[in-house]
Structure 1
Amino acid sequence: MSFPAPPTSFSALSQFVFDRVLNEDPLTHSLIILGTLPSPDLDNRVRAIVRLEKTALNAADSSKFFGDNGIIEKVQLEESTDIYTWLFGWLGEDRERDVKINVICPATDVHIRKYTRQDQIMVHETPALYEKYVKPYISAFPASRTTWVENILKGLSEQSKVLYSCPEFLILPDMKWDLKTIRSLYLVAIIQDRTIRSLRDLRKHHVDLLRSIRIEATRVVQAKWGLGNGSLRMFIHYQPSYYHFHVHIVNANYQGGLGMTVGQGHLLDDIIALLELDTFEGPGIFERMTLTYGLGDQHGLFTTLSPGAEL
């Protein structure tokens, strides 16, 4: 049995005929496709698998991305609200968009710490630690850090992207999503109630609100992208990146980063189940629990909550 020569040239590879997608991985920016190439006898074709992966950005090129002779030749604005701007960039005029660009300007010291690579420690936040350290920290969180959220909730920005809106919450794409790759679909539900700052504030009477988010998110992705029941992973962060209550809604096949790891990400279904078991009287179950999670060394609570923190 004779085998075709490997496609070592552009002209040989150009004879590839696409059949179907085998796999896509938004995390590695790769795509695996099945197709055929000509066989030696020219009357038949043989199956071939091709894996395509966008190459990593080179840190050595950091100073060359922008400017008169920058590597990025064209950008397109996606959205801009308060200090946050999102764009897509091209490394050439005739290419498909190559990079998603997020800009924070002006960036504070807090922003810089947040986006700096961090070493993690595991924190066991008891109710007592929460009351003494974390709750005051959340209360002192500058309102300016959530101006962009207020702009969305008040209808001042991103209204063309809103997928669902009601008096209690709205659903729209998260800035992490490229708005194109369904496998990496990433939405967010933002709550109108400003008194819910974090997971610790949830009470039994919030169950109907959380159920409604689950129902509407499922309905939206079914209607818009044809994703059926069981296609979504919905979760809440603790600690969150900002203290205005929101729910992350992602494709169940999406392999995310640190925000989806054990500890920080709490499944919406599990939260609803726990609240259903709670009572209406007294402190809520999340106010009484010890919560364990990873905390980076650049976080504002790191020194306070490091092992050995005193009550």
Structure 2
Amino acid sequence: MSLEPLSKKLCKGDHVENNEFTSFKNLNVVRILQDKPESKAAFIHGRFEGRDEDAVVIVEKTPFSAETIQQVLSSDTTLTTHHINDIYGTYSGYPKPELNDIKATIIFPATEKHIIKYTDQPIHAINETGDDYKIVTLPYLKKQDFHIQWVYNILEKKAETERVLFEDPDPKIGFVLLPDMKWDKKHMENMYMLAICHRRDVLSLRDLTEEHLPMLRNILSKGLNAIKEAYGVNEDQVKIYLHYQPSYYHLHVHFTHLKFNAPGSSVGKAYLLTDVIDNIVLMSNYYQGKTLTFVATEADPLYLEFVKARKATNHD
């Protein structure tokens, strides 16, 4: 089945909108979508005054750094005692405001898909066979109006040009390598890079065959070399993987530091690039027939499509 109509459908728009914000002054909180104490992050559904569209705001506490820790642990940081027992004490500390910064990500305008994506929900594992992909997933993808113009803005040098670390411009095997927005570029142990291929006819892991091995090997070798040269991180300190299902349907590869427990880097989401290459070498159409397990939230439209398909099968 040709994916050309889908790849064209995903390429909408040809401009970069300026959605820059300087404060949260005019943000009205609609609801907290998700709170993650373990990662010190919160996901908020909000609306800015004077704008009709929804926004999703992600706020995260930035990690400590060697440059600022002495300032944090100074006489300017006041302490409030919570508990004392023998040699153990717990306190709340209040450092100076400039040492207590946060990282904010604003998605605007945010669609209902974005709001669902970041809402805390029950999750389910789906075992998708090759036939499931053809019968359930692919028809669902063809019906969706995915907006990935931001990806094409990067590839076409309309946006984020200053953030690109490396580019191989070859239209068949080339890619751009740039930091993921999750990384502040200050803490090397949280390194998170993305390689986005120039080809627009490869949407996900399911499309990969022997034809794509030169591209995958090129991303692997040149991506690692660029990271080593720029940041001094050795290849045996980097985890390289693809997501399935991906958060957007244009093939991209994740490079993260081994010490960083990156979102989506565990079983049920991440597929190691070296394993992907080896599997395709063994069998060209491996990922067209392989049962792939992925995790979806209960409100995810794709999960609902699978529920509907399973009910129809059981009814028959």
Range into which the TM-score falls when normalised by the shorter chain = 0.5 to 0.7
The 8 Å contact of residues 278 and 285 in structure 1, kept in 2 or not, is answered as: yes
2:276 is the counterpart of 1:271: yes
1:234 matched to which residue of 2? 240
The 8 Å contact of residues 86 and 175 in structure 1, kept in 2 or not, is answered as: no
Q: Could you list the per-position Cα deviations for residues 249-286 of structure 1 after superposition, in whole angstroms to 9, with x for gaps in the alignment?
A: 100111123x112121000010011011124xxxx110
Superposition deviation, residue 236 in structure 1: 0.4
2:116 matched to which residue of 1? 113
Cα distance in 1 for partners of 2:293, 2:259 equals 25
Superposition deviation, residue 140 in structure 1: 2.9
Q: How does the TM-score come out when normalised to structure 1?
A: 0.68
Larger radius of gyration: 1
2:190 matched to which residue of 1? 184
Cα distance in 2 for partners of 1:28, 1:169 equals 34
Cα distance in 2 for partners of 1:243, 1:171 equals 17
2:107 is the counterpart of 1:104: yes
Cα distance in 2 for partners of 1:97, 1:267 equals 36
Instruction: Give 5+ residue unaligned stretches, structure 1.
Output: 1-26, 30-55, 68-82
Mapping 1:42-81, distance limit 5 Å: 56=40
The 8 Å contact of residues 125 and 290 in structure 1, kept in 2 or not, is answered as: yes
Cα distance in 2 for partners of 1:242, 1:93 equals 39
The 8 Å contact of residues 41 and 59 in structure 2, kept in 1 or not, is answered as: no
Mapping 1:205-220, distance limit 5 Å: 205-220=211-226
Name which of 167, 174, 180 aligns with 2:180: 174
What secondary structure is seen at the aligned counterpart in 1 of 2:310? coil
Mapping 1:288-299, distance limit 5 Å: 288-299=289-300
Q: Could you list the per-position Cα deviations for residues 2-34 of structure 1 after superposition, in whole angstroms to 9, with x for gaps in the alignment?
A: xxxxxxxxxxxxxxxxxxxxxxxxx967xxxxx
Cα distance in 2 for partners of 1:198, 1:309 equals 27
Name which of 171, 174, 193 aligns with 2:199: 193
Q: Which range moves more in the overlay, 155-164 or 132-141?
A: 132-141
What secondary structure is seen at the aligned counterpart in 2 of 1:190? strand
Instruction: Give 5+ residue unaligned stretches, structure 2.
Output: 1-36, 50-54, 63-93
The 8 Å contact of residues 297 and 303 in structure 2, kept in 1 or not, is answered as: yes
CA RMSD of aligned residues (A): 3.1
1:262 matched to which residue of 2? 267
What amino acid is the match of 2:291? T
2:154 matched to which residue of 1? 152
The 8 Å contact of residues 116 and 298 in structure 1, kept in 2 or not, is answered as: no
What secondary structure is seen at the aligned counterpart in 2 of 1:218? helix
The percentage of aligned residue pairs carrying the same residue is 31
Cα distance in 1 for partners of 2:120, 2:58 equals 21
Cα distance in 2 for partners of 1:151, 1:165 equals 14
Cα distance in 1 for partners of 2:224, 2:118 equals 31
Kindly indicate which of the two structures has a greater share of residues assigned to helix: 2
Q: Could you list the per-position Cα deviations for residues 135-172 of structure 1 after superposition, in whole angstroms to 9, with x for gaps in the alignment?
A: 122223325x1011111111000000101111221000
1:39 matched to which residue of 2? none
Mapping 1:272-311, distance limit 5 Å: 272-279=277-284, 284-306=285-307, 308-310=310-312
Cα distance in 2 for partners of 1:295, 1:130 equals 15
Cα distance in 2 for partners of 1:309, 1:264 equals 25
Cα distance in 1 for partners of 2:61, 2:124 equals 36
Q: 1:310 to 1:126 in 2, by over 3 A?
A: farther
Aligned length: 234
